[in-house]
Amino acid sequence: MANATPADCTVRILKLSGAARHGTGFFVAPGLVLTCAHVVKPDPREEASDFELSIGGATWTVKPVHWNDNSLPDLALFRIPVADHPCLTLSTALEVGDPVSVDGWIARGGQIRREPVLGVYEGEASIRLLDPAPQEYALIKFKDAQIVSGMSGAALFSRRTQCACGLVIRTRNEAMAAGGYAVPLRTIYQAYPEIAQAQAEYHRAHPAQQLQHIVNPATAVTFDEKLEAVKMFPLGPAVAIEFIHPNLLALFYALEPDQTEETFQSANRLRFQTNSAGYPKHQICVPKPGDPKNVNPLAFWQQTMTSAATRGPRMLAAVFYSAPPGTFEGMETAVIELLAKLRSWPIR
């Protein structure tokens, strides 16, 4: 199964009673559709409304199971009786300048139609609310896309990683391609931890989808190819070293001192060259445990891998992509599966 696309997973949402309301949602896991609270939030004087959710030829009439009464984070969740529908892969990997897309349902000329738009990720903006209590939220900011009414609740899709990285909640100017704002994935996980668990179960059932776009370290020959591969991994959070199978770690213990030195230096070069503004070098690169010629290989790599893991998936990926040719012979599948999981970290 190839990676699911927004066209496969974008849901049209229509309110069935009272004041007209429509918007967009998307499948984040089997039976779970994520959208914006302001799309579904009923009138405080009324009961929760019924909504029609539709994609392709399938339609469901349901009420939202949860929505946030505060203005941020602007999230709501539907649960529908479906177990075999494709879901978008979620990933926090996002770099300034990344191309993104939004696929939403809009109303124009008496019709509601699905319309994709393209944009560019600019960074994060801090939004501070004073009512009912002071709170500060980070929102993804993107430009060059004309976000209009109806696109609220659509996935913000990274065209580099082929994964959803946020949920669109507002435009910056509906009259032009000024872009918009989206709730980042980490905030979605905090609000709905069940999404991370359900997505992990989905990928266990559909391993081929998660393995799409993972470059085998044995084939990433040039430094530039390795660099592009490492950029696909999220910056954090930290990874528990226990997550890596001991047999994979043991492959590094057998390296010669010169190979160990080159692998270590290359990994730090890769990670540093994929750095984002605001991350000092000492916080992202791994300090050297000692001269590989004078340090026990087991102790060297245990310390190096533990340090790399605390710096997040991208640093770990840099180590694996820096290993000499032939290091993973016979265990290529295990390495690719590990990298696939790290691509969508913190989903385990």
pLDDT in tens, 113-167: 999 999 999 999 988 876 666 778 899 999 999 999 999 999 999 998 888 999 9
Residue found under tokens 């590094």? 252
For residue range 44-66, what is the model confidence (pLDDT) as tens digits? 666 778 999 999 889 999 999 99
Q: Per the domain annotation, does 90 fall within a domain?
A: no
Look at residue 45 in the predicted model and tell me its pLDDT: 67
- Do the Cβ atoms of 299 and 243 come closer than 8 Å? no
CATH number for position 179: 2.40.10.10
> What distance separates the 2 farthest-apart alpha carbons in the chain?
76
Contacts of 134 (CB under 8 A, 6+ apart): 128
Q: Is the pTM of this model over 0.85?
A: no
Are 137 and 72 found together in one domain? Answer: no
Look at residue 3 in the predicted model and tell me its pLDDT: 66
Question: DSSP secondary structure string, 135-152?
Answer: EEEEEEEEES----TT-T
Look at residue 337 in the predicted model and tell me its pLDDT: 87
Query: CA 141, 144, 149, 154 torsion: positive or negative?
Result: negative
Average pLDDT, the chain: 89
Whether the pLDDT of residue 344 is over 90: the answer is no
Are 219 and 327 found together in one domain? Answer: yes
For residue range 278-294, what is the model confidence (pLDDT) as tens digits? 667 878 999 999 999 99
For residue range 222-231, what is the model confidence (pLDDT) as tens digits? 888 899 889 8
Are 109 and 173 found together in one domain? Answer: yes
- Greater pLDDT, 203 or 327: 327
Task: Give the chain's domain count.
Answer: 3
CA distance 70 to 169: 13
Could you tell me what percent of the chain has a pLDDT over 70? 94
Q: Per the domain annotation, does 93 fall within a domain?
A: no
By residue range, what is the domain housing residue 60?
A: 6-79
Nearest Cα residue to 212 out of 343, 23, 19, 303: 343
Q: Which band of pLDDT confidence, cut at 50, 70 and 90, is reported for residue 276?
A: low
Q: Per the domain annotation, does 202 fall within a domain?
A: no
Looking at 79, 114, 130, the residue that finishes a domain is 79
Are 21 and 53 found together in one domain? Answer: yes
Are 113 and 153 found together in one domain? Answer: yes
Are 239 and 184 found together in one domain? Answer: no
Are 221 and 325 found together in one domain? Answer: yes
- Do the Cβ atoms of 260 and 292 come closer than 8 Å? yes
Look at residue 1 in the predicted model and tell me its pLDDT: 43
Are 225 and 184 found together in one domain? Answer: no
Rg (CA), the chain: 22
Look at residue 348 in the predicted model and tell me its pLDDT: 39
Helices 332-343 & 246-253, crossing angle to 10 degrees? 110
Look at residue 209 in the predicted model and tell me its pLDDT: 72
Q: Report the Cα 12 to chain-centroid distance in Å.
A: 22
